[in-house]
Chain A
Amino acid sequence: MTRIEEKFAALNADGKKALIPYITGGDPKPEYTENLMHALVESGADMLELGMPFSDPMADGPVIQKACERALGAGASVQGVLDIVESFRKTDSITPVVLMGYLNPIEHMGYDVFAANAKKAGVDGVLLVDLPPEEADDVVPVFKASGIDTIFLVAPTTTEARAAKIAAHASGYLYYVSVKGVTGSATLDVDEVGRKLAGLRQLTDVPLAVGFGIRDGASAAAVSQVADGVIVGSVLVNCIAELADTPEKIAPALQERIKEMRLAMDA
């Protein structure tokens, strides 16, 4: 079993849902990221999504665009993010880590080089926002050969035919985008999300995680009623942005938010 499968199985056995925070690797500075990852796990995160900063994050809102700009300005890079994961793995061999980003920096490094380096670092999955299944034939097999899951997105606009195609490629988990929009934009409609997830469950056995629009304990708890995992990003990245000048305050602030969501989800 992969680390992601083991984690979902363990949660399932406990009757719990996965809490999956996202932060951008290298934000506000690369040297802080590893500590923030450990802090998130200590306060109740089950898995981590770590952003690989990109100069042009078209599918993200202003909050994550600015996080990318901060990270790149502080010298972050794709290899730098892999190095952070490798260091994190020295003291945490259980928590799955999924890297999230855009195709170009990966393609530039070379899919095989990236996959080898990611495996060596202890990465479990990769989600490339601008890589739909139609364009993924050169990528997925390379990741698979290194034991890395390719995580795909499903959106409210995804047709049934497309959902079937995506489900056929899916491994690790499926990331359901709860709203039409960029990260950090609208509030979500949990009933509608529930209906969509019910449809997806007919197509695949992989766990279904939901992201976009989750900002507090209440929304996390509501989504955890219908999903296997809850992804929270912009609200944490916003926290980092506000405390970028006092970095020692970031970890406690993130932990406070994660604890609130954990409690609400497990209640």
Chain B
Amino acid sequence: MTKANTYAELLQLPDTKGHFGPYGGRFVSETLSYALEELEETYNKLSKDPEFQAEFDKDLAHYVGRPSPLYHAERWSRILGGAQIFLKREDLNHTGAHKVNNTIGQALLAKYTGKPRVIAETGAGQHGVATATVAARLGLECEIFMGADDVKRQSLNVYRMKLLGAKVHAVTSGSRTLKDAMNEALRDWVTNVDNTFYIIGTVAGPHPYPMLVRDFNSVIGREAREQSLTQNGRLPDALVACVGGGSNAMGLFYPFLQDESVAMYGVEAGGNGVETGRHAAPLCAGEPGVLHGNRTYLMQDNDGQIIETHSVSAGLDYPGVGPEHAYLKDIGRVNYVAANDHEVLAAFRELTRVEGIMPALESSHALAYGRKLAQSMRPDQHIIINLSGRGDKDIHTVAGIDGITV
């Protein structure tokens, strides 16, 4: 089989049981099985329904403000002296990140299935804000689960969610971060499954979530591919995106999977450095296992217990990763690398000063690796970096590192 054939087959995944090779699946307690079967059936029907798609596209255009620009960062590219860097400006979306692409889609599913209440987990708070936003617009009751540590380091987003009418639960169990928020959201869902739609924020969780979150975010890659062809008359040589759960990366990568000439880099959170063990880079340094409804790479100890992660960015502070990424790693279609906190902060400052764009710390992981990659390439080559979110929410964190109270 040729490489191109293999890559074309990637577009057929997942299989009917939600598997991407050995990864994915539906590992949940029995109470949730029926809700997931129902969701899968609904999604399979609606994703082929022109009326549903038209409503989704209309919301993306008029509410989110799509298409987002593909911006040539000329000055930064010149300073780095390597490949031309193009930024996919998901930071310009309504609510400030790619997360809203998915919450618009899932809120429409909630509406079509008649569920009056939505819940979500959130790390940095971007997904929580995006969920609270669409819930406000559709008049849905909304409750958000957020690790108690994240509530502290992302207080601005917590207040935004409250202004939007959501109830925010600070989760104090376990490591008090994103994984614990997801445990708590699953517990709420199991209890209120009759009237509640769980809006998962990333391409992880039980089938069909990894598939539908990918599909809703694929608008990023479809636009970027078309913009690249229209603006530059060619495809890019490489794509770079940060990976926590991996929804912005999957959204960018998916429409390019068949384009053999396009290299792809997923950048995980290196924390204090992958070599120190204090990081959130399961694809770089974890092992396959089962958590939160799917089989994927996980950060775990010798007894199979999930271990605590470390990252300057709350949105990437997660011990697992979407199962499709796990498969793309194994077959070698995407290269997974890590950027540590120090490199990330430097990239955050650099883009802000050189281009006047303040990126989210999550997105700064992609920038940190992208700048190195650019420097290893020729000026006639092109890189697209997914600027998945804006950095306003991180100002307190960065100021804190600088010893300044804002």
Which residues of A are interface residues toward B (Cβ below 8 A)?
54-59, 61-62, 65-66, 69, 72, 77-79, 102-109, 129-132, 134-135, 152-159, 162, 166, 177, 180-182, 185-186
Known: A134-B17, A157-B193. A107 touches B304 (CB 8 A): yes
The interface on chain B, measured as residues whose beta carbon lies within 8 A of the other chain's beta carbons, has a size of: 40
Which of A66, A72, A153 contacts B30, CB < 8 Å?
Answer: A153
Per the bound structure, the CA–CA distance linking A231 and B30 in Å amounts to 17
Contact with A along B178-209 (1 / 0, CB 8 A): 01101100110011111000000000000000
Task: Report the minimum CB–CB distance from A175 to chain B (whole Å).
Answer: 9
Contact present for B193 and A180 (CB under 8 Å): yes
Which of A65, A104, A109 contacts B173, CB < 8 Å?
Answer: A65
Per the bound structure, the CA–CA distance linking A94 and B114 in Å amounts to 52
Task: Report the minimum CB–CB distance from A72 to chain B (whole Å).
Answer: 6
Contact present for B34 and A69 (CB under 8 Å): no
11 contacts between A and B (CB under 8 A): A56-B180, A56-B291, A59-B187, A69-B173, A108-B300, A135-B25, A135-B27, A158-B30, A180-B193, A181-B191, A186-B191
Residues 36-80 (chain B) with a chain A CB within 8 angstroms: 37
A104, A105, A131, A186 — which one has the most chain B CB atoms within 10 A of its CB?
A104
Per the bound structure, the CA–CA distance linking A54 and B290 in Å amounts to 12
Contact present for A132 and B191 (CB under 8 Å): no
Known: A103-B290, A109-B304, A180-B194. A129 touches B29 (CB 8 A): yes
- Interface residues of B: mostly helix, strand, loop or mixed? mixed
B289: interface (CB < 8 Å): yes
Count: A-B pairs, CB below 8 Å: 124
Which of B30, B187, B191 contacts A58, CB < 8 Å?
Answer: B187
A58, A106, A135 — which one has the most chain B CB atoms within 10 A of its CB?
A58
Contact with A along B156-178 (1 / 0, CB 8 A): 00000000000000000110000
Contact present for B305 and A58 (CB under 8 Å): no
| Residues on the B chain within 8 Å of A156, using CB | 31
Contact present for A105 and B30 (CB under 8 Å): no
Contact with A along B292-304 (1 / 0, CB 8 A): 1100001010111
Contact present for A154 and B190 (CB under 8 Å): no
B35: interface (CB < 8 Å): yes
B398: interface (CB < 8 Å): no
Task: Report the minimum CB–CB distance from B6 to chain A (whole Å).
Answer: 25
| Residues on the B chain within 8 Å of A105, using CB | 303-305
User: Smallest CB-CB separation from B293: which chain A residue?
Assistant: A130
B381: interface (CB < 8 Å): no
B28: interface (CB < 8 Å): yes
**Those 4 A-B pairs whose CB atoms lie nearest each other, nearest first:** A108-B304, A105-B304, A59-B29, A155-B31
| Residues on the A chain within 8 Å of B35, using CB | 157
| Residues on the B chain within 8 Å of A159, using CB | 34, 37
User: Smallest CB-CB separation from A76: which chain B residue?
Assistant: B303
Per the bound structure, the CA–CA distance linking A166 and B31 in Å amounts to 13
Per the bound structure, the CA–CA distance linking A175 and B31 in Å amounts to 12
| Residues on the B chain within 8 Å of A130, using CB | 27-29, 290, 293
User: Smallest CB-CB separation from A61: which chain B residue?
Assistant: B187
Task: Report the minimum CB–CB distance from B144 to chain A (whole Å).
Answer: 18
Per the bound structure, the CA–CA distance linking A131 and B294 in Å amounts to 11
Per the bound structure, the CA–CA distance linking A79 and B302 in Å amounts to 11
B33: interface (CB < 8 Å): yes
| Residues on the A chain within 8 Å of B33, using CB | 132, 155, 157-158, 162
| Residues on the B chain within 8 Å of A185, using CB | 191
Per the bound structure, the CA–CA distance linking A58 and B198 in Å amounts to 15
| Residues on the B chain within 8 Å of A153, using CB | 29-31
Contact present for B191 and A72 (CB under 8 Å): no
Known: A58-B187, A158-B33, A181-B190. A131 touches B291 (CB 8 A): no
| Residues on the B chain within 8 Å of A152, using CB | 30
Contact present for A56 and B174 (CB under 8 Å): yes
Known: A132-B33, A162-B34. A56 touches B183 (CB 8 A): yes
| Residues on the A chain within 8 Å of B194, using CB | 180
Contact present for A134 and B26 (CB under 8 Å): yes
| Residues on the A chain within 8 Å of B190, using CB | 59, 180-182
| Residues on the A chain within 8 Å of B291, using CB | 56, 104
